[in-house]
Amino acid sequence: MYEERTLTKQERIVEYLVELNTDSLIEIHNTICFNQYNYEDRIYENAPGIVNELLYGLSPWEIVEKVAGNLYKTTDDYFVDGIYDFESFNDPLEKIDIEAMAAYMVDYDEDGDDYEIREILDEEEDSEILEWLREHECSYWNCRKYCEEQFGIELDDVTTDYWDDEIIAWIEQHENLFKMYKADFGLEETA
């Protein structure tokens, strides 16, 4: 039987982004571009009002430079305002790399002003202790000995900063499941 693997934050964000509608994905992408001062990668709807707004104040020659190349078509759905010209396209995924965006979000704790992504980023990943406990179905008392040996932590003196409620609750819930700890780590088994 295969063991179920827990998805990383990045993988969960990718799954979430892939399921979003186009407008929501573009909004998150544009927020990240704005926060990075990367205005030339922001994606705009190719609509007359938006084009007029971006061209406002430019000289006729600057306008010709923006739209005269082969990169911009008025019939495409979207465009980016590059440094020198507009570039249009129909599929925003031509310009949005979801994998790279998710990696950036995790690396820089950037949520793109999206509540669901903020929830994923704020979730605590399992600590080394909790991961080990789950893997070994360890009893509370054996875990205390393990923590003292492996981490130099005396659990009687530890505050919740080091020994959080989730770990204690997990240990108490699984205390009777552990039977083989002594053989693996040479610690006494308690019953």
Tell me what pLDDT residue 162 has: 46
Task: Please state which of the ranges 44-48, 63-67, 123-127, 152-156 shows the lowest mean pLDDT.
Answer: 152-156
CB-based contact 45:159 (threshold 8 Å): no
Tell me the one-letter amino acid at 46: N
What is the greatest pairwise CA distance in the chain?
85
CA proximity to 87, closest of 101, 106, 74, 102: 74
Q: State the Cα–Cα distance between residues 49 and 47, nearest whole angstrom.
A: 6
The strand ranges marked E within the chain are 43-45, 78-81, 86-89
The model's pLDDT over 154-178, given as tens digits with 9 standing for 90+, comes to 555 444 444 555 556 555 554 444 3
Half-sphere exposure in the Cβ direction for 79 (13 Å, CA): 22
3-state SS assignment for residue 139: coil
The residue among 42, 29, 6 whose CA lies nearest residue 105 is 29
pTM here is 0.63
pLDDT digits (tens, 9 = 90+) for 94-142: 999 999 999 999 989 999 999 999 999 887 665 555 566 556 655 555 6
Helix axes 22-35, 98-108, angle to 10 degrees: 50
Judged against a pLDDT cut of 50, whether residue 81 lies above it is answered with yes
Distance CA 96, CA 41 (A): 9
Q: Give ∠ CA 129-188-156 in degrees, rounded to 5.
A: 50
Q: What is the mean pLDDT of the chain?
A: 77
pLDDT, position 144: 65
Rounded distance between C-alpha atoms, residue 52 and residue 170, angstroms: 60
